[in-house]
Amino acid sequence: MATRNISGEAIKELAQIVGSAHLLTESLEVSLYEYDGSVETGRPDLVVFPGSKHEVAALARWSNRHRVPVVGRGAGTGLSGGALAREGGVQVVFSRMNKILEIDVENRLAVVEPGVVNLDLSRAVASAGLHYAPDPSSQKACTIGGNVAENAGGPHTLRYGVTANHVQALEIVLPDGEMVRIGGGAVDPPGYDLVGLFVGSEGTLGLVVEITVKLTPLPESVKTLLAVFETADDATETVATLTAAGVTPAACEMLDGWTIRVVESSIQAGLPTDAGALLLIEVDGMREAAEEQAQAVIDLCRKNRAREVRTAQSERERETLWKARKNAFGAVGRVAPDCYVQDGVIPRTRLPEALRRIGEIGRRHGFDVGNIFHAGDGNLHPMLCFDHRKADEFARAMAAADEIIALCIEMGGSITGEHGVGMEKDRLMPLLFSQADLALMKGVRDAFNPLGLLNPGKIFPGGKGCGEIRIPAASATEGKRGTARVDEAGGSGPSGADGALRDRQA
Amino acid sequence: MRASGENLFEPISAIVGGANTSVEAAATRNYAIGGQRPAVVAWPATADETREILRLCVKQRLAVVVAGAGTKLGMGGPPSHYDLALVSTRMNQILEHDPGDLTLSVGGGARLTDISKCLKAHHQFLPLSVPYESLATAGGTVSSGIDSPLRQGYGTVRDFLLGAEFVTGSSHRVKSGSSVVKSVAGYDLHKLLVGSLGTLGVISRLNFKTFPLPEVRRSILATFGEASAAIGFAQCIAHSPLAATSLESLNATLVDLLRRGAPRSASPLPVPQLSGRASEWQVAVGFGGSEAVFRRFRNDAEGMAREWGATDSLLLDDEATAGVWERLVEAVPLLLDSSPAATLVHAGVLPSQLSTACAAAESSAKRHQLPVALLARAVGAIYIAFLPDALNPETILRLAQAVDETAEAILAMQGHWSLPWCPEDLRKRTRLRGDERPDLGLMGKVKQVFDPENILSPGRFAGGL
Ligand SMILES: Cc1cc2nc3c(=O)[nH]c(=O)nc-3n(C[C@H](O)[C@H](O)[C@H](O)COP(=O)(O)OP(=O)(O)OC[C@H]3O[C@@H](n4cnc5c(N)ncnc54)[C@H](O)[C@@H]3O)c2cc1C
């Protein structure tokens, strides 16, 4: 049977590569892969489940031969539509390639297939006193392949760094089917840092078939603190004070009042539902250092008017607190049919102001905005809850979201801290990057992915081309207070941000 | 045809001004690489001036080598041709420091010492304690990709570089990353600049994450009868909860050099206990934190040292700590100064292979009668310095054999190696080149995108890129 874009003959070849049991062609089955964790959709023509890297290489050759796009997919928890087949083609799902190939305790390395679930790796090495440090809140489901593509972070990124800091080597399949190893198990491979380039490239440069990651010793001591505040301002001030004082906890997450109540009603973790905000702060390391840090955190919380600072007394209590944090998005799902989570980043000194202004933006558009986020990194996750069936709610949510992003940019921040650009924020890229910046990035993409068959329609503003979107005055690396900047082509519209944002609403 | 200085003076000085352009031998000599000198030296003050210069270079097919303070120009091969040295030292501003956010942006030519001074006032620092620290620029440090003793605790520059702005070989002013501590917008092109030896772009701005200065810095120096015990001890600490900031194992030759200082450098180190007895190894363990935490650290570390059979273990006071680390940071210049044909191999191996790799280097040195200094960082980085006392065709031959043998041993253990510093004649004599890698083809593609006309340091990089 042929699809809209793929001949019957080509489908037969595909079945030979992965086996017909691992190929979905029926419309109903395929439609299940139309979604990921984002509010976007994109429908593949076919779905395949390769069982080995050699099958992935054969798939790439097939795609090249038939000029059909391929899009990798881990667990589909991505929040920017990265795994969606925006231009159709074949969805390559890595769920069968889920083996931990090697655990090297002595050198603290593991070699895994891309479909290994993040938490499964930490569990597998726990008995050796190790863990895989990047811990996205979705870690029970998301895959390490997806983490590599998105350069995922997580609560403990604050102390331990993001995925890029933990990936040592990759084996990749290029769109023409060539399989190449980049980086190395040992440190300091000579030459360009291709691994650094590859991590976070959102599946647009190659398919990852093997990943060598660093394992991190489990800390000797962990202290989990819950600081309760009357107002969100007091909590955000605390984060700014902690950062400025050079106290770097392992994690520092914030929940605002709205979110506390939603989470508590679903998870019953014993959170104080009358509080204005909570900080979930974890310190770890040597016993003495963790104790010292915990005391410093408690003192600073109190100084910033914390009503109470609790210390988890048992592993069970600690797990409950983290469960409340990590399952929050699910809890929100119980109160709203749709939730749009944003991912902007701001300097931590601006947190109090940013949260106040996000609240105002939400109110102006008629929404409650919930905030549960990686406060210690300044990585916001405002959640806009809406019902897509109601006439203008989606449009209003998007308009509010755009204003929030504009705010992050105005503050010298980023449009995405960990969820990626995908197909959700591609049109926003010109707000951060000039035409020259984007042209060089595209040049790199084209060097790896010359026919654009790998995950097309992602990261870069498509369709109209960025030339038609006006470039804003501020730019990412040019200072937080943003000096005016004229892009290469000389186009510096008076309100570029508005130009791009209007583009979406149109 | 090679461009002449006279022809270039005018167009370059039209961009940066006559005072910032030179064709004088006194200036061009400073930027010589492997006997090659540029025809002209230019000191642009901004990214835009840089862009203009590169535009001219593209038009006239001029080869450009980017320099900061020039302290690491010796790394990498000589350029295949060399017309212009572009020196970034006027782009030396501290552009922005947000102490409350622990972020910093500086010009590519900013000096590490200026950065440290600015950060120190806010009890912060950048863990970039690299060789020639008192002269080096941020851009040169990033481009050289060189590591520091602090990598055990803080990682290498790729771990705390947040973003950059640079001018590509096609004279576009480009940026990637951000100036906040977390961002995944777009490709992290700035990571490619790390260790690229100026072959991809001229860095005009760097954004870093900064770190709080620890309350105290302390060190422990433990002495062992053999390499395996020293390295075993260092690994034991690395696997413990102790969170050392540095873990450096040094062989006796290196210890001796550090103690005495090289002939041309300053006074001997005030640490008589650095024994430097042949066959002995010493491990320098660095700590940063509070006094209270250090008490436990010291107790445990000394216990481990005894378990690994340390013959001596010494707690260094503040002055000695500063002295030892200063010397360790400056080990590279010290080594280069200590032999007329100093040859430094930089290797990366799995930590479990450190002992074997060091043994291979030592036995190869012995076979070819070359003194060898070794510095092994617990993460798996090794500096192997062959230090013959003369430079002549015969020593070059012995060096080539020692380098090839050592490299072979390292490659056999799935390690990597490169030859950052060596006498020019040696590069053509080794059989292996340090670029025996499957991903060279991809690197070539990257280079082509950044510098399609191949004007930036042509031929200096791995694989002749
Ligand atoms: C409740 C919830 C909480 C979350 N919390 C966090 C968080 O704390 N931090 C965070 O960073 N993210 C978080 N996310 C987002 C998401 O989980 C991460 O982006 C994660 O890395 C995606 O992994 P995945 O396996 O689901 O990948 P997918 O969504 O399936 O794919 C993501 C991207 O990876 C590509 N890809 C997948 N496999 C490969 C491969 N083998 N080769 C090449 N490309 C590939 C896809 O093409 C796509 O571009 C959260 C999501 C949810 C739903």
Angle, nearest 10°, between helix axes A315-326 and A328-335? Answer: 50
Helices (H) and strands (E) in chain B, counts: 16, 19
**A-B contacts at Cβ under 8 angstroms:** 279
B219-234 tens-digit pLDDT: 999 999 999 999 999 9
Q: Do A476 and B159 touch (CB under 8 A)?
A: no
CA angle, corner B151, sides to B148 and B157, nearest 5?
Answer: 75
Please name the residues in contact with A397: beta carbons below 8 A apart, sequence gap of 6 or more: A338, A340, A365, A367, A384, A386
Please say whether the beta carbons of A411 and A350 come within 8 A. Answer: yes
> How many CA atoms lie within 13 Å of B96's alpha carbon, on the beta-carbon side?
23
Q: Are residues B206 and B243 in the same domain?
A: no
Query: Chain B 432-451, CB below 8 Å of chain A: which residues?
Result: 434-435, 437-443, 445-450
Of B301, B332, B363, the residue at which a domain comes to its end is B332
Is the pLDDT confidence value at A504 over 80?
A: no
Domain boundaries along the sequence of chain A? 8-93, 102-217, 221-331, 336-486
Shortest Cα–Cα distance, B289 to chain A (Å):
8
Q: Are residues B221 and B207 in the same domain?
A: no
The per-residue pLDDT for A463 is 52
Please name the residues in contact with B132: beta carbons below 8 A apart, sequence gap of 6 or more: B69, B71, B72, B330, B332, B333
Q: Coil, strand or helix: which one is A375?
A: helix
- Residue A150, burial from CB neighbour count under 10 angstroms (0-12, 13-18, 19+): buried
Predicted confidence band of residue A473 (pLDDT cuts 50, 70, 90) = very low
Q: Are residues B5 and B132 in the same domain?
A: yes
In a domain, B434, yes or no: no
Please name the residues in contact with B24: beta carbons below 8 A apart, sequence gap of 6 or more: none
A386 forms beta bridges with A338
User: Minimal Cα distance from B153: which residue of A?
Assistant: A160
* Least confidently predicted of A40-49, B4-13, B377-386, B447-456: B4-13
Please say whether the beta carbons of A199 and A146 come within 8 A. Answer: no
Q: Give me the helices (H) in A85-161, please.
A: 118-125, 144-150, 157-160
Nearest to B348 among A189, A378, A476 (CB): A189
Who has greater pLDDT, B428 or B442? B442
Predicted confidence band of residue B274 (pLDDT cuts 50, 70, 90) = low
- Measuring CA to CA, which residue among B156, B437, B465, B353 is closest to residue A183? B437
CA of A463 to the centre of ligand 1 (A): 25
- Range A487-506 average pLDDT: 33
Please say whether the beta carbons of A387 and A338 come within 8 A. Answer: yes
Q: Are residues B222 and B206 in the same domain?
A: no
Q: Are residues B202 and B63 in the same domain?
A: yes
DSSP output for A301-347 = HHHTT-SEEEE--SHHHHHHHHHHHHTHHHHHHHH-SEEEE---B--
A111, A131, A150, A193, best to mutate vs chain B, most B CBs in 10 Å = A193
In a domain, B304, yes or no: yes
Q: Are residues B263 and B362 in the same domain?
A: no
The per-residue pLDDT for B362 is 97
The per-residue pLDDT for B262 is 52
Chain A neighbors of B242, CB-CB under 8 A: 286
Any idea what the CATH number is for the domain that residue B169 is in? 3.30.465.10
Model confidence, pTM: 0.94
In a domain, B455, yes or no: no
Is the pLDDT confidence value at B438 over 50?
A: yes
Q: Are residues B145 and B194 in the same domain?
A: yes
The per-residue pLDDT for A481 is 39
Per the structure, the count of domains in chain B is 3
A75-124 tens-digit pLDDT: 999 999 999 999 999 999 999 999 999 999 999 999 999 999 999 999 99
**CATH architecture label of A102-217:** 2-Layer Sandwich (3.30)
CATH of segment(s) A336-486: 3.30.70.2740
**CA-to-CA distance for B463 and B465, rounded, in angstroms?**
5
B217 forms beta bridges with B288
In a domain, B453, yes or no: no
Q: Coil, strand or helix: which one is B137?
A: strand
- Percent above pLDDT 70 for chain B: 95
- Measuring CA to CA, which residue among B324, B326, B333, B327 is closest to residue B420? B333
Who has greater pLDDT, A96 or B425? A96
- Range B455-459 average pLDDT: 93
Predicted confidence band of residue B164 (pLDDT cuts 50, 70, 90) = very high
Phi, psi of A181 (to 5 degrees): -95, 130
Q: Do B449 and A447 touch (CB under 8 A)?
A: yes
Q: Are residues B135 and B269 in the same domain?
A: no
Please say whether the beta carbons of B434 and B463 come within 8 A. Answer: no
CA of A233 to the centre of ligand 1 (A): 31
Taking the Cβ of residue A185 and every Cβ of chain B, the question of whether any pair is shorter than 8 Å is answered with: yes
The per-residue pLDDT for A479 is 46
Going by the DSSP 8-state scheme, the letter that residue B339 receives in this structure is: -
Taking the Cβ of residue B214 and every Cβ of chain A, the question of whether any pair is shorter than 8 Å is answered with: no
Shortest Cα–Cα distance, B5 to chain A (Å):
30
**CA-to-CA distance for B277 and A232, rounded, in angstroms?**
62
B46-103 tens-digit pLDDT: 999 999 999 999 999 999 999 999 888 888 888 999 999 999 999 999 999 999 999 9
Any idea what the CATH number is for the domain that residue B297 is in? 3.30.70.3450
The per-residue pLDDT for B74 is 82
**CA-to-CA distance for A491 and A53, rounded, in angstroms?**
45
Please say whether the beta carbons of B284 and B242 come within 8 A. Answer: no
Angle, nearest 10°, between helix axes B47-60 and B5-16? Answer: 150
Q: Coil, strand or helix: which one is B284?
A: strand
**CA-to-CA distance for A285 and B245, rounded, in angstroms?**
13
Q: Are residues B375 and B310 in the same domain?
A: no
Please say whether the beta carbons of B380 and A186 come within 8 A. Answer: yes
Please say whether the beta carbons of A22 and A56 come within 8 A. Answer: no
Who has greater pLDDT, A427 or B462? A427
Ligand 1 nearest-atom number relative to CA A162: 11
Tell me the pairing of strands A70-73 and A90-93: parallel
- Range A23-42 average pLDDT: 94
Q: Do B187 and A153 touch (CB under 8 A)?
A: no
Please say whether the beta carbons of B50 and B20 come within 8 A. Answer: no
In a domain, B442, yes or no: no
Q: Are residues B176 and B35 in the same domain?
A: yes
Q: Which two tokens stand for residue A44?
A: 């593949």
Taking the Cβ of residue A162 and every Cβ of chain B, the question of whether any pair is shorter than 8 Å is answered with: yes
A158, A180, A188, best to mutate vs chain B, most B CBs in 10 Å = A188
The per-residue pLDDT for B268 is 53
State the average pLDDT for chain A.
Answer: 90
Is the pLDDT confidence value at A496 over 50?
A: no
Pocket of ligand 1 (CB under 6 A): A 36-37, 71-79, 82-83, 94, 114, 136-138, 142-143, 145-147, 149-150, 152-154, 202-203, 207-208, 329, 418-419, 455
Q: Are residues B106 and B183 in the same domain?
A: yes
Tokens 């048992």 sit at which residue? A314
Please say whether the beta carbons of B343 and B422 come within 8 A. Answer: yes
The residue to mutate among A84, A95, A117, A150, having the most atoms of ligand 1 within 8 angstroms of its beta carbon, is A150
What fold does the segment set A8-93 form as a domain? 3.30.43
Predicted confidence band of residue A484 (pLDDT cuts 50, 70, 90) = very low
Exposure class string for A423-452: b at 16+ Cβ within 10 A, else e: bbbbbbbbbbbbbbbbbbbbbbbebbbeeb
Shortest Cα–Cα distance, B211 to chain A (Å):
7
- Measuring CA to CA, which residue among A165, A91, A136, A210 is closest to residue A454? A91
Taking the Cβ of residue A379 and every Cβ of chain B, the question of whether any pair is shorter than 8 Å is answered with: yes
Taking the Cβ of residue B378 and every Cβ of chain A, the question of whether any pair is shorter than 8 Å is answered with: no
Assess whether the region A221-331 and the region A336-486 belong to the same CATH fold. yes
Q: How many residues does chain A have?
A: 506
Integer-rounded Cα Rg, in Å, for chain A is 23
The Cα-based distances of A407 to A12, A203, A359, A361 in angstroms read 51, 28, 12, 10
Predicted confidence band of residue A486 (pLDDT cuts 50, 70, 90) = very low
Biggest CA pair distance of chain A? 71
> How many CA atoms lie within 13 Å of B28's alpha carbon, on the beta-carbon side?
18
B300 forms beta bridges with none
CA of A144 to the centre of ligand 1 (A): 8
Query: Chain B 310-369, CB below 8 Å of chain A: which residues?
Result: 346-353
The per-residue pLDDT for B271 is 52
Q: Which two tokens stand for residue B395?
A: 């020593």
Predicted confidence band of residue B250 (pLDDT cuts 50, 70, 90) = very high
Beta strands in B40-139 (DSSP E): 40-42, 64-67, 84-87, 94-98, 103-107, 124-125
In a domain, B454, yes or no: no
- Element containing residue A12 per DSSP (H, E): helix A8-18
**CA-to-CA distance for B422 and B420, rounded, in angstroms?**
7
**CATH architecture label of A221-331:** 2-Layer Sandwich (3.30)
Q: Which two tokens stand for residue B448?
A: 């082509």
In a domain, B285, yes or no: yes
Range(s) of the domain holding residue B362: 339-427
Q: Are residues B248 and B280 in the same domain?
A: yes
Taking the Cβ of residue A384 and every Cβ of chain B, the question of whether any pair is shorter than 8 Å is answered with: no
Is the pLDDT confidence value at B321 over 90?
A: no
**CA-to-CA distance for B59 and B87, rounded, in angstroms?**
20
Answer positive or negative: Cα dihedral of B250, B253, B256, B261: negative
Please say whether the beta carbons of B140 and B87 come within 8 A. Answer: no
Q: Which two tokens stand for residue A460?
A: 């870069």
- Range B279-306 average pLDDT: 94
In a domain, B352, yes or no: yes
- Range A351-363 average pLDDT: 96
